[in-house]
Structure 1
């Protein structure tokens, strides 16, 4: 039986230049920009070159993730402007076993500013406040040097290579596993 998820954080998780907030309709332009990256369409539920209606439908799906018991879907927002620069999620379908996975993506025009590492640090600090959660894992393509740097900057450690782990597009792909073991002292800080 799935464990109930905690409420949305009363104070939005933040780190450095990023604050995490609920995905909202004002994020349509950022979502549409994400959809221009052909790889993103192969790895999630956002279709390639989404129009406004498709972007709004994706936002609606993200907004329902917590209530469905899947996890927390956050807009990665610039702390100074509140404008979304990407998306990240803490996926809690294995919360009953103390495990979660996380993911992040930055809009093409916002890449190279350290937003993903700040978002992952904020997301991980939030994860440490979720009762019963002990471990957060990331699955990263071996060729994705930027994502590997992001994971390492946020304090995640490489645990291994999962060969032929997932299908992306029409190809079987390897994935690196990075993970963070959360403190058991209840401090809320990894």
Structure 2
């Protein structure tokens, strides 16, 4: 049911260099299959840890529901040269002119710039088009790839949030990053 207080969101198509961000589709089930087999992605997302077509379809439908309920924007990261879905990105409004970004990339596509391209596209869109005042990223301290992605996208490290989020049944520390309009 769509809330009367929060209007449904329309997930835009965002160009991102060699990649694009678009709304989820049932043609993205192959990406869900690959992500389900990853040892980490299902722990930090709602990607099913055991793949079945029914579980994958349910996952995609949850992405649609997030926009329909006004909760946030969820994107598929698509490689332009072959239209292959390689990862996912999220943009969740937090209120007070802020939003939180998240992303993951399938193992077969890591190291190609998909995450960086997605973060830059969402950042430009959020700060310029939507006029937000602050974007935030939260990264586990050991995740050097995501730490580098945040920094290369212009985010500034603000500090360590101890026990910030539950992941895999335990509280985990997170490094907090922020990007302001003057940073881009």
| TM-score normalised according to structure 1 size | 0.88
Distance 1:25 1:6, change over 3 A: closer
SS of aligned partner of 1:178: strand
- In structure 1, what is the Cα distance between the partners aligned to 2:51 and 2:9? 32
CA apart distance, 1:131: 3.8
2:58 maps to 1:57: yes
| 1:176 CA displacement | 0.1
Corresponding position: 1:8 with 2:7: no
- Cα distance in 2 for partners of 1:88, 1:130 equals 18
RMSD, aligned α-carbons:
1.9
How far the C-alpha of 1:6 sits from its partner, in A, is 5.6
Task: Establish whether residue 161 from structure 1 lines up as the match of residue 150 from structure 2.
Answer: no
Shift of 1:170: 2.3
Which stretch of the first structure deviates more once superposed, 127-136 or 112-121? Answer: 127-136
After superposition, the Cα gap between the structure-2 partners of 1:151 and 1:5, relative to the gap in structure 1 and judged at 3 Å, is farther
Question: Runs of 5+ in structure 2 lacking a partner?
Answer: none
Q: Structure 2 matches for 1:29-48, cutoff 5 A?
A: 29-48=30-49
Cα deviation code 1:10-61 (max 9, x no counterpart)? xx21222110011100000011111111222211212212211111110011
Q: Which position in structure 2 is the counterpart of 1:108? A: 107
- 2:106 and 2:45 mapped to 1: Cα distance? 14
Q: Does 1:18 align with 2:19?
A: yes
What CA distance in whole angstroms lies between the structure 1 residues aligned with 2:42 and 2:9? 30
- 1:119 partner SS: helix
Give the TM-score normalised by the residue count of structure 2: 0.90
1:147 — aligned with what?
146
Q: Which ranges in structure 1 are unaligned for 5 or more consecutive residues?
A: 184-188
Note the C-alpha offset of 1:129.
4.2
